Every structure is written in structure tokens, then in C-alpha cells.
Amino acid sequence: MSEWRRDVRAYDEALDQLGEANSRRLIPTPALVCDLSMLQSNIDRMADGARDAGVALRPHVKSHKSAYIAKRQLEAGAVGLSFAKLGEAEVIVEKLRTDEDHSALSVLLTSPIVGRHAAERAAALAARCDLLVAIDHCDGVDELEAAALAADTTVCVLCDVDVGLGRTGVSGPREALAVAERVNVATHLQFRGVQGYGGHLQHIAGREHRRQATIASTKRLGLVIDALESAGFNVPIRSGGGTGTMGLDVEIGVLSELQTGSYVFMDREYRDALGEDPEGRFAQSLTLITTVISANHEGYVTVDAGLKAMATDAGVPLVVGHERTATYAFFGDEQGMVTCAPDHPFRRGERLELVPPHCDPTVDRYDVIWLVHDDVVVDVIDVTARGRSQ
């Protein structure tokens, strides 16, 4: 059970009744709730799919930020974990090493790091796990080499390749060769392959549209791989992909490992894009519980989940069980408006569940996630890496 506590009677009461019937109704709102059986089913489904396809799975922790969930992913067969930020990796690695010996845990930093201090932190982290760092500039190679030399440790490197997103990555084969050659002459770095993450592909609606875009994106990565191999570099790791393209990435056959993340929870944004596509066949395990705090107007009620309760970049959430008859609208920092049909008015004190618009940044707003089975709270887990954006 989570070590997190609040000196608030409602929280204490909910925690005291873990495992008891109807304990779900005691969860103070707004709160993130995850169905444990759905979560495990999603973890197993992705792990089995990757295993059957002969590709490695390196789940991205930025979606759940939880040592508890990361451990379940590793137990299901993941070869390692992906992290967007050093701070996320540091706290999760430390927690897993505390729980049990994960000294050989394979960790990939998917965002390039910049500067001496960040490089020194990465070198220190490499002493506690098998570290891979994605780099897209020769200066980044030099910074990491200096830090690894000073720490007397070895760090593995992937060349980050821009496959169309335009956010990070070398622009083509020439720049990739420059990075690989600089790594090759370093004494404390090892070149292990490439990363090509197509974040711009993940929410393209329509599988055929998503397929064509993924093929075009992967060709860019393929050109870099061909150039590296022609120059004599071994490229054993070809990391990338995501929940929205995982099946397509397997079909195309270039990537050796997948960085899927949101599949553990899913959200409204993925639901809209994926529909009944194979990539969308994961359970909506994560919901946001909110309470009706005012019902004084005909046609709508006010709930206690507003702008602060969820990420707003992907629009509004869905009202679970009332997707066709009720709509949500932001009603301020602390409140939301939920419309209701005349024949089904919501009442003061009633609890509603929302499908978050975008799960990753929504999770980062909470200290804990309540794990449930039907109406029973079975555990409370920390959002271990909450706020670790540096």
C-alpha cells in the first residue's frame, strides 16, 4: 500500500476501509481511479503482443509515472523502461532498487539532455542501471563523455532521429553518422542504435491514414539505419513507436523495440483516434471520479473537477455511462459543468466518472491513484515521479 497519507478525515476513512465492500464511494474527489484487473489485462495484452511479434517492449513511464505499474510491466516481460526526463528515471530507478534488486534494469532517456550538470546526473544514474541516452547532437556526445569519464562509468547511446515530428532528432543520415562517429571515438560511451519516435502519428484517425503516415515516417528512420550500417556501425536497437502505431510498427518491421505508454490507461484522445482499430483494443482502466456539488439549475449540474483536475490540451472528458446524454464543460479552476437530460437529472452528492482527455499530464496532477475492483478499493499507489520534469 502507498506510504502517502493526508491528515484529512475523509482520506483516513477511505484508507481504513481498503478491501471493504462499497469502499469506492469513500474516495475523496476529485480523484484518479484505476481498475486493477483492466490495468493488468492491458499490461499483459501489450506484453503478449510484443512477444508474439518478436519485438522487445520498453514501456514509457511518462504515462503512469508509477514504480508500482513499472514493476508490473517488467514482471510481464518488458526489457526495460523509457523515461522522458532524468528526474523521472532517477526516482523510479531508486524506488525499484529499494523494493528489490533491479541493478540490471535497462533504462532509456528518450529526450536529449543538455549541459554539464545533466550529463553528470546521467553518469551517476548509469551506476545504478544499464543506461541508454538518446542524443541528437555531437555536443551532447562530448558532454556525456566528459561526465562518464569523470565518473568512471560507461553510458550507452542511441542516435535520436527526427522521423517527422520535428521536436528532436538529427535531420538525416549525415548528421546521424557524425553523432555515431563521435560516440565511436569516445572512451566511455557505446553506440547501440537509433531512436525514431513518431509522436505526430499516434492520434491520426483512421488506420489506413495512420498506416501511410507511419510508413513514410519509418522510411526516414530506415535511411539513417542503412547509412549507419553501410559505414560499419552495428544498429541492434531501433526504438520507437507508441500506443497508436504499435500494430503498424510491428507490420512494417523496422523497429526492434516499442516505447508504448498510454495503453495501460487509455484516454478520450486515443478513443477518438483509434476507435475499433486493433491499437485501440485496450480497456479504459483509468477514470476520474468527481462529485456533484451543486444542482440548483435545470439542465446542468456543477461538479468538483475543473481545470486543475485534468489536462485540457485534448479538450473535454467523457461522462462514463452518459456519453450520449451528458456533456462536460470546464466551469472554472475548481469546477466543471455537466449537462443532464430532463429524464435523468443528476443530484447533489452524486458521483460521476470521467474519461480523462489526455492521461499522461492528467496523472501528473495527482499524488496517488486509487486501485479498485468493482466497488472495492484494493490499494492506493503513489504517482512516484509526479512533477519530476527536470
Query: SS3 for 150-165, per residue?
Result: HHCCCEEEEEEECCCC
pLDDT band at 7 (very low <50, low <70, confident <90, very high): very low
pLDDT band at 5 (very low <50, low <70, confident <90, very high): low
Beta bridge partners of 291: 351
Please give the mean pLDDT across all residues of the chain.
94
How sure is the predictor about 3, in pLDDT bands with cuts at 50, 70 and 90? low
Residue 196 has pLDDT above 90, yes or no: yes
Whether residue 239 contacts residue 259, with contact meaning beta carbons closer than 8 Å, is answered with yes
Q: Which residues of 341-360 are buried (b: 16+ CB within 10 A; e: fewer)?
A: eeeeebeeeeebbbbbbbbb
What local confidence, expressed as pLDDT, does residue 1 receive?
A: 52
Mean pLDDT of 268-274: 96
pTM for the structure as a whole:
0.94
Q: What pLDDT digit, counting tens, does each position of 294-327 carry?
A: 999 999 999 999 999 999 999 999 999 999 999 9
Q: What is the mean pLDDT of residues 340-359?
A: 92
- Give the tens place of pLDDT for each residue, 16-25: 777 788 889 9
Strands 336-339 and 300-303: antiparallel
Question: Can you read off the three cell numbers belonging to residue 312?
Answer: 485540457
Given a cut of 60, whether residue 345 has pLDDT beyond it is yes
Question: What CATH topology corresponds to 9-35+282-382?
Answer: Lyase, Ornithine Decarboxylase; Chain A, domain 1 (2.40.37)
What does R_g of the chain's alpha carbons equal in angstroms?
22
pLDDT confidence bin for 355, thresholds 50/70/90:
very high
pLDDT tens-digit readout, 218-264: 999 999 999 999 999 999 999 999 999 999 999 999 999 999 999 99
Residues of the chain with CATH 2.40.37.20: 9-35+282-382
CATH fourth-level superfamily of 37-266: Alanine racemase (3.20.20.10)
Residue type, 215: I
Residue 178 has pLDDT above 70, yes or no: yes
- Residues above pLDDT 90, as percent of the chain: 91
Q: What is the DSSP string of 88-128?
A: HHHHHHHHHHHHS--TT-EEEE-S---SHHHHHHHHHHHTT
pLDDT in tens, 60-113: 999 999 999 999 999 999 999 999 999 999 999 999 986 555 458 999 999 999
pLDDT number for residue 15: 77
CA distances from 231 to 140, 176, 180, 313 (A): 21, 11, 10, 43
Give the burial class of 75: count Cβ atoms within 10 A of its Cβ; 0-12 exposed, 13-18 middle, 19 or more buried: exposed
Question: What residue ranges of the chain are covered by domains with CATH 3.20.20.10?
Answer: 37-266
Average pLDDT on 257-274 reads 97
